[in-house]
């Protein structure tokens, strides 16, 4: 029996909630239900898989622990950009060969194009802006690295990236003493991420897919030919299952997930709108999305309503004293990098989990040893484009129109367990110390 219910809503405190509208309350799963495919997680990946499946005539439902966009898809910085791995281009070529690295980069570009096409086809105004992304050298010695990256991108991937001197940056509206040069990569755009995920969910509903909110999957067992997914007040029996919980995945559903993902916190602050004089005082007037060259990078952009969005890594622990410290550190970084705005108030501040994998690449495919179970996760902090296209490709694997080899090799490595998974957060703390020292 499927019933309508009105569970309380989780408030994240993001600017997107205030600006893109509250997610709709989908009914909770009550009783039992039968579907061909059950998807766990209503973010870009799960919803993209569900959309393609529903459009292909497959009966599909999405089981979401909270509500559409509760995970990173409703909390991110809105940079629809290249990325999805922590391996750089040179490492990708060394590990997978030039052809596979090229296929992987082309896949990232296709992901960006897919999001753009969707917004256009659905007639969704998601506050798009920015042509490509600017990488800013935070030390003078990083300028040479940007130069070498420009040559590398051109030679290996045919990408035309443009180098900018410190003076040119100032002229193009990227003002600030802390930036010594820039590399503009002309791929990607910025959007309101919540508007996009809500529109995606609407398309799933229109195509006939079911979405259940407040329905965390707590257990996954095999029941004859079908998988049995247990939720708080019911269960779903499905021939196939998609794991799309990413940085919010519950590690016991299924147990295979235990120790195979590393959720990492990222945090964002958004200021009040800036006046003309405040913008010119800092010399920052560009609406191009930008990031610095730190390993523990900062990412930032001027929003269409002239607020400034500033993101950086989060802390390790989710308890209030640690979160307060994290917000203070992020605010202090913002004031250091944009001193003319030191008195501009932060009006929104929130955080969320990205998902890392031990392979440092995402995984999109069939879960080994669990017939009929598929996974799409591990976007390493860049999932708008990557999770969107990967959800769609995963649907192709499920319906049989695609084979695993049709995906670029970096996506084909199943998630490996981290050694001593209980200590993952401590590894992360160690990595932050090391990277902080390397970034200095
Ligand atoms: C602060 C922040 C900034 C970011 N900025 C950017 C950016 O600018 N550009 C970019 O490309 N990427 C960015 N990312 C990353 C990007 O948001 C994610 O990679 C992407 O949203 C992941 O989508 P997803 O569908 O895989 O997972 P999510 O959107 O995280 O969705 C997973 C969902 O699964 C649900 N779930 C998990 N387990 C269960 C269960 N057992 N039962 C039911 N439901 C379950 C969760 O509740 C959650 O809603 C950012 C992330 C964060 C946190």
Q: What is the pLDDT of residues 399-439, one digit of tens each?
A: 999 999 999 999 999 999 998 888 887 777 877 888 777 87
Which helix (H) or strand (E) is 223 found in, with range?
strand 219-223
Q: What is the pLDDT of residue 148?
A: 96
Closest CA to 200 of 351, 39, 308: 39
What's the CA gap between 104 and 202, in Å, rounded? 29
Residue-number span of the structural domain to which 152 is assigned:
128-189+263-356
Best residue for ligand 1 mutational test, from 62, 72, 107, 130 (most atoms within 8 Å of Cβ) = 72
For the stretch 213-241, pLDDT in tens is: 999 999 999 988 999 999 999 999 999 99
Q: Is residue 107 part of a domain?
A: no
First to last CA, the chain: 58
> Do the beta carbons of residue 280 and residue 292 sit within 8 Å?
no
Q: Does position 274 have pLDDT exceeding 70, yes or no? A: yes
Residues 342 and 389 in one domain: no
Q: Please report the atom of ligand 1 found closest to the CA of residue 47.
A: 25
Q: Does position 135 have pLDDT exceeding 60, yes or no? A: yes
Q: Is residue 2 part of a domain?
A: no
Domain end residue (candidates: 356, 374, 400) = 356
DSSP classification of residue 10: P
Residues 176 and 276 in one domain: yes
CA of 243 to the centre of ligand 1 (A): 12
Structure tokens at 402: 């695609």
For ligand 1, atom 38: residue with the closest CA: 249
CA of 354 to the centre of ligand 1 (A): 6
Ligand 1 site: residues with CB under 6 angstroms?
40-46, 63-66, 70-73, 75-79, 81, 216-217, 244-250, 253, 266, 268, 311, 351-354, 377, 379, 381-384, 387
> Do the beta carbons of residue 51 and residue 207 sit within 8 Å?
yes
Q: What is the pLDDT of residue 8?
A: 42
What's the CA gap between 394 and 384, in Å, rounded? 16
pLDDT band at 10; cut points 50, 70, 90: low
What's the CA gap between 204 and 47, in Å, rounded? 7
Residues 215 and 167 in one domain: no
Closest CA to 59 of 30, 29, 39: 39
Residues 49 and 67 in one domain: yes
Helices and strands, counts by H and E, the chain: 11, 18
Write the DSSP string, 244-299.
Answer: --GGG--TTTTGGGTTS-EEEEEEEEEEPPPPHHHHHHHTB---SEEEES-SS--E
Residues 378 and 347 in one domain: no
CA angle centred on 122, ends 8 and 2, rounded to 5°: 35
CATH code for the domain of 230: 3.50.50.60
Structure tokens at 212: 């259940």
What's the CA gap between 137 and 386, in Å, rounded? 25
Q: Does position 43 have pLDDT exceeding 60, yes or no? A: yes
Overall number of domains in the chain: 2
Domain end residue (candidates: 333, 356, 379) = 356
Q: Is residue 67 part of a domain?
A: yes
CA of 71 to the centre of ligand 1 (A): 4
What's the CA gap between 109 and 82, in Å, rounded? 7
Q: Does position 164 have pLDDT exceeding 90, yes or no? A: yes
Residues 393 and 405 in one domain: yes
CA of 145 to the centre of ligand 1 (A): 31
Residues 66 and 214 in one domain: yes
CA of 248 to the centre of ligand 1 (A): 7
Closest CA to 378 of 217, 246, 185: 246
Domain end residue (candidates: 356, 372, 398) = 356
Closest CA to 193 of 8, 364, 68, 50: 68
Question: Three-class SS of residue 154?
Answer: helix
Distances 158 to 109, 144, 155, 161, 346 between C-alpha atoms, Å: 12, 20, 6, 9, 40
Q: What is the pLDDT of residue 150?
A: 97
| Average pLDDT value for the chain | 93
Sign of CA dihedral 145, 151, 157, 159: positive
Q: Is residue 9 part of a domain?
A: no
Q: Is residue 3 part of a domain?
A: no
As a whole number, mean pLDDT of residues 42-51 equals: 98
CATH code for the domain of 345: 3.30.9.10
> Do the beta carbons of residue 303 and residue 270 sit within 8 Å?
yes
Sign of CA dihedral 377, 383, 385, 388: positive
Q: Does position 309 have pLDDT exceeding 50, yes or no? A: yes
Q: What is the pLDDT of residue 82?
A: 97
């Amino acid at each position: 029996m499927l019933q309508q219910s009105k569970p309380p809503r989780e408030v994240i405190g993001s600017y997107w909630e205030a600006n893109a509208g509250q997610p709709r309350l989908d009914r909770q799963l009550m009783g039992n239900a039968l579907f061909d495919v059950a998807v766990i997680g209503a973010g870009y990946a799960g919803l993209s898989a569900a959309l393609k499946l529903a459009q292909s005539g497959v009966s599909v439902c999405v089981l979401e622990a909270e509500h559409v966009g509760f995970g990173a898809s409703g909390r991110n910085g809105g940079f629809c950009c290249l990325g999805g791995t922590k391996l750089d281009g040179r490492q990708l070529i060394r590990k997978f060969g030039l052809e596979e690295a090229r296929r992987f980069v082309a896949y990232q570009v296709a992901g960006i194009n897919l999001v753009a096409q969707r917004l256009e086809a659905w007639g969704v105004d998601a506050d798009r802006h920015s042509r490509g992304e600017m990488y800013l050298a935070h030390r003078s010695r990083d300028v040479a690295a940007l130069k070498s990256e420009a040559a590398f991108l051109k030679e290996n991937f045919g990408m035309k990236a443009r180098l900018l001197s410190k003076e040119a940056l100032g002229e193009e509206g990227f003002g600030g003493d802390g930036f010594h040069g820039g590399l503009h990569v002309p791929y990607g755009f910025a959007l309101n991420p919540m508007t996009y995920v809500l529109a995606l969910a609407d398309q799933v509903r229109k195509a006939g897919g079911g979405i259940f909110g407040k329905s965390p999957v707590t257990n996954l067992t095999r029941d004859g030919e079908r998988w049995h997914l247990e939720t708080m007040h019911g269960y779903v029996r499905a021939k196939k299952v998609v794991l799309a919980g990413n940085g919010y995945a519950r590690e016991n559903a299924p147990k295979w997930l235990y120790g195979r993902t590393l959720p990492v916190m990222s945090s964002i602050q958004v200021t009040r709108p800036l006046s003309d004089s405040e913008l010119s005082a800092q010399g920052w007037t560009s609406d191009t999305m930008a990031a610095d060259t730190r390993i523990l990078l900062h990412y930032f952009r001027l929003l269409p309503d002239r607020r400034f969005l500033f993101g950086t890594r989060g802390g390790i622990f989710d308890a209030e004293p640690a979160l307060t410290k994290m917000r203070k550190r992020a605010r202090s970084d913002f004031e250091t990098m944009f001193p003319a705005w030191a008195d501009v108030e932060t009006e929104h501040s929130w955080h969320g989990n990205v998902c890392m994998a031990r392979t440092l690449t995402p995984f999109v495919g069939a879960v080994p040893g669990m017939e009929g179970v598929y996974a799409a996760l591990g976007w390493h902090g860049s999932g708008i484009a990557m999770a969107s296209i990967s959800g769609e490709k995963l649907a192709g694997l499920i319906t049989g129109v695609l084979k695993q080899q049709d995906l670029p090799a970096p996506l084909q490595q199943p998630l490996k367990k981290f050694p001593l998974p209980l200590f993952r957060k401590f590894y992360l703390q160690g990595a932050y110390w090391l990277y902080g020292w390397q970034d200095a």
